[in-house]
Amino acid sequence: MTPGLLAGKTAVVTGAAGGIGLAIARLFHEHGGSVVLADIDEAGVRAAAESVGARAIGVGCDVTDEDSVQALVDEAVRWSGRLDVFVNNAGVTRDASLRKMTVADFDTVIAVHLRGTWLGVRAASAVMRVSGGGSIINMSSLSGKSGNPGQTNYSAAKAGIVGLTKASAKELAHKGIRVNAIQPGLIRTAMTEAMPPEVFAEREAAIPMKRAGTPGEVAGAALFLASELSGYMTGAVLEVGGGRLM
C-alpha cells in the first residue's frame, strides 16, 4: 500500500484497546495519521496507544454515554487541532437464546453498538461540518446481514448500524462528510477464539476462502474508507468476510 494515505490527518478509533480497533489504529498510524485510541478500559487503551507510536494517545470513553463521547471528540480536537476520521468500532457480545437472554443483556448490546455508533456519528459530524468534511466509518457485521442464532441482540444492533450509516450518509453528504460501514465476517480475535473449537471450525469451513480473516484485513478496508481513495463513496457497506454470505 502507498505510505502516507492519512498524512496530516487525525483519526479517532473506539474500542481500540485490542483486536480490530487496535489493528485499525496501528495501520492508520503507519500511514501517517495521528490517532486517538478510545476504550472503556482506560488503562488498557493508554498502554495500547503507547505501543502504536508517538502520534497516538489513549483516552477512556464509555460510548453509551453522551458526555463521554463528546469529551472524546473534544480531546481529539484539543490534542491535534482537527478531526478527519472517526471509526465507531466499540462493541460487546452477550450471546444467549431468546429464552435465556435477559432484557439487560439485550439493552447492553443495543446501547454499546447502536446508541454508541449514533453518538459517535453525531459528535464527530458536528466538528466535520465546521471543518469542511471527513470520513466516518461504522463497524457492522455479517451477523447484521444474515442473523446468527443466539445473537438476536447483536444481529439487531449490527443491522441497525447499516440503516444508521445510510441515513446519516444522506444527511451529511452535502457537507463533505462521508459515512460508510464495514461488515466483518469470521475474524480471528480474542472474542472469536473463545468459541468452542468445533463451532469455530464449522463456521470457517463454510467460508468460500476456507479461512477466518485477520484484524489487519479489516483494518485495510478501514484505511481505504478513511482515505481519499474512497473519496466518491458514501453510504456503502463493505463486506470483509472471505465470500461468506455473498
Q: 29 is written with which cell numbers? A: 498510524
- Collapsing DSSP states into helix, strand and coil, what is residue 16? coil
β pairing state of 85-88 and 134-139? parallel
Catalytic residue among 154, 178, 218, 223: 154
| Closest residue by Cα to residue 160 from 217, 91, 228, 225 | 91
What are the beta bridge partners of residue 60? 39
What are the beta bridge partners of residue 238? 182
154 flagged as catalytic: yes
Among positive and negative, which fits the CA dihedral 106, 61, 13, 88?
Answer: positive
**Active-site annotation, residues:** 154
